[in-house]
Structure 1
Amino acid sequence: MAVAKLAADYAIQQANRPMGVVILTDRRFEIAVAKSDAMKKIIEQCGHCKVLAVEDVPINEVTETIGPLVNKLNQQFGKQWTHTLAINDVYFDEMNFPLRQIRRPDIRNISAGDGSSKAINRIRGGLSQQIATVAEPLNAQGWQMVDELNRAFAGQPPSGYTTSPILVTRDMLKAIGNRDIDAQLGYQEAYEKIWFNKNR
C-alpha cells in the first residue's frame, strides 16, 4: 500500500492540469490487484483527476499486447489520457515506442513497484516517458536480513523494523550521482554500530 500511495501521490503532484489516468495491472496476482485498487482509490479522491480505465494486462504478455493496447487507449480517450500508472516497470519497457508511433510524448508513466535497472536507467537518462518508479531498498534489506539472523542466533527477538520503499525520480537520481538508491539511508553505519558496538 505504501508503494501504491507513493506512485499515485507523485502522479497527482506532477499534474498541472486535469489528469486522466490509465492503470495497468495483472489480475492473476493478489498483490498486483491490491496495488492497482489502492492507486485507483487515491486518484478518484483527487478533484482534478479521473481514472479512465483499469486494464488487465498479464505481465508475461506485455511484449505482444502493449502496442495494440496503446493504440486502443489513444483512440478511446485521446488527450484525456495524460498519465499511466502500472504495478510493475515491465509495462514501460515496451510502451515508449508505441507512444512515439502515435505521437503522444505528453503522456507520463509511473510504476508502482519494481525499480528495475532498466527503469532506473530510463529515468536517469530522461529519454523515456517513464518519470518515476518505486523501488525496494534491496541493499538495506540484505543488511537487515543479516541482522535478523544475528538476532535469532543470539536468542533475541526480531527487530520489527520495516524498510520504506523509495520513490525514484530523475531529480533524485541526479542528487545521489553514482551511489545506490538506498545509499542515503545510512543503514551500513547503523548496523555496524549494532554488530561491532561502534560508538561513532
Structure 2
Amino acid sequence: MKYFFYVLGILILTLGISLTIQSNLGTSPFDALLVGLAKNIGLTVGSWEIIISSLLIGCDSLLKRDKPEILGLVTAFVTGVGIDMWLFLFHNTITPNLWFSQAICFGIGLVVIGLGTAMYLQTNFVPIPIDRLTLTIQELARTSLFFSRTFIYLVFLILALALNGPIGIGTLLTVCLGGLILDWFMPFTKKMVGCVLY
C-alpha cells in the first residue's frame, strides 16, 4: 500500500507540473530547464527529467563521496513517465489562451504539485534527486535549507534562461508559494496516508 501512495503521489505531482507547463505563465526553474532542453535539443520533457535527475544523483554521490543512490532513478523514471503521459493527454485538450484561463490552469497546477509532493513524501521512499541534492548541499555548506534550495534554483534559472525555457510570473509564484502550499498539505496527507498504512 505504501508504494501505491508513492506512485499516486508522483502521478498527482506530475499532473500539477504538466498543468503549469500548459498554462504558459512559467514553471519552476527546474521544469523550465527541462522544457527548454526538450525544445532546443529534442527528446521529451519526461526524458530530460530522467537524464537531469541521473546527473543530480551523480553530483550528490560525488559531493558525499558515497555510492550513488540508485533507487533515486526509480523516482526519476516514474516522474518522467508521468510528465510525458499528462503532457500527451493535455496536448490538444488544455491549451488556455486568455490570461484568466492561464491563471486558473497555473493555480490548479501549483496546488496539485503541493498535494502530490506531500503525498509521496509521506511514504518515506526515495526522494526526488533535486530534494536529496538540496539536503546534501545544506549539510556540506552548513547553511540553511532555504539557502541551498535557492542556490540550486538560481543555477537552474540561469540554464533555463539560456535555453529559452518557460520563465515568467509563474516561476516567481512557484518559488515563493511552493513551500507554503507543501507545508499546508503535509498534515492532511500525513493523516490520510497514516490511516491506511498504520
Structure with higher RCO (Cα < 8 A, 6+ apart): 2
- Relative to its length, the structure with more strand (as a share) is 1
TM-score normalised by L of structure 1: 0.28
| Rg larger for | 1
TM-score (norm 2): 0.28
